[in-house]
Amino acid sequence: MRCIAIDDEPLALMQITGYIEKTPFLQLAAACHRAVDSIPMLTGETIDLLFVDINMPDINGLDFVRSLRQRPLVIFITAYSEYAFDGFRVDAFDYLLKPIGYPDFLYAAEKAYRQYKLRMNEPNLPAAEAVPERFFVKSEYKTIPIEIQSITHIESRSEYLRIYTETEPPVMTLGNMKSVEEKLPSDRFMRVHRSYIVHLQKISAVERGHILINHKIRIPIGEQYKDAFRNYLSLHSL
């Protein structure tokens, strides 16, 4: 994906461009300190993704995106969470809250990349397979279908995964977190600990560094996943 990064703060722009350059599926097309500097490239070339700060002189990021007749995917960047609602009113794909850690950036970028591939309808990712409704796992000499929407959380135990659902007893299967994470829709599931993935729609409460599932199952939030989870909460809070 070809990207443009726009931020009037030099250090913030350097951070975002650095994140883009270290992400394999992103390509930096331009880095701009002013929104207007990106117009020639946005109008003359194919740009797939725009990272743009909201608070900027001359024209802020929200007004700039509104002015674009043809918009790439947009991820807004700001230090102020109150802008989230306005950002989504102009069809922003996602929203990153400063200070931005790479896990937060990568989570948003991967979601945008999935959307980009759906738009491009690449042969290796047909639209019908982009968000599967179930997958199969091997457990105790049987192959068992797991309905994705019924999953509440997944726990890693050494070389095994324990998959918890709303309707059946937990299923134990050989596997690792990375492999199962790739099969789950990122808009519904998030890894919150090195040993846990949770279904975001099944969260009943968040308290004292833990997520509650069904008001009784307590799942710890790992230190390296806190920023991404806080960002998710800020995007979905009133």
| pLDDT tens readout for residues 65-115 | 888 888 899 998 887 655 544 444 456 678 788 889 998 899 889 888 888
Residue type, 108: A
- State the CB neighbour count (10 A cutoff) for residue 12: 17
φ, ψ dihedrals at 129, nearest 5°: -100, 0
Prediction pTM value: 0.52
Q: Hey, which of 12-21, 50-59, 130-139 has the most confident mean pLDDT?
A: 12-21
- State the CB neighbour count (10 A cutoff) for residue 85: 12
Our measurement of the distance from residue 121's CA atom to the centroid of its chain's CA atoms, rounded to an integer in Å, reads 20
Given pLDDT bands bounded at 50, 70 and 90, which one contains residue 133?
Answer: confident
Instruction: Taking residues 200-225, report their average pLDDT.
Output: 91
pLDDT of residue 125: 42
Residue 59's SS3 state is coil
Half-sphere exposure for 29 (CA within 13 Å, toward CB): 19
- State the CB neighbour count (10 A cutoff) for residue 60: 19
Our measurement of the distance from residue 12's CA atom to the centroid of its chain's CA atoms, rounded to an integer in Å, reads 20
**Angle formed at CA 236 by CA 91 and CA 161, multiple of 5 degrees:** 110
Q: Hey, which of 77-81, 85-89, 220-224, 231-235 has the most confident mean pLDDT?
A: 220-224
List the domains of the chain with CATH numbers.
2-120 (3.40.50.2300), 131-235 (2.40.50.1020)
Q: What is the distance between the alpha carbons of residues 207 and 195, in angstroms, rounded to a whole number?
A: 19
Rg (C-alpha) for the chain, rounded Å, is: 19
* Structure letter (DSSP) for residue 195: T
Q: Which residue has the higher pLDDT, 192 or 116?
A: 192
pLDDT of residue 126: 42
Percent of the chain, pLDDT > 90?
Answer: 39
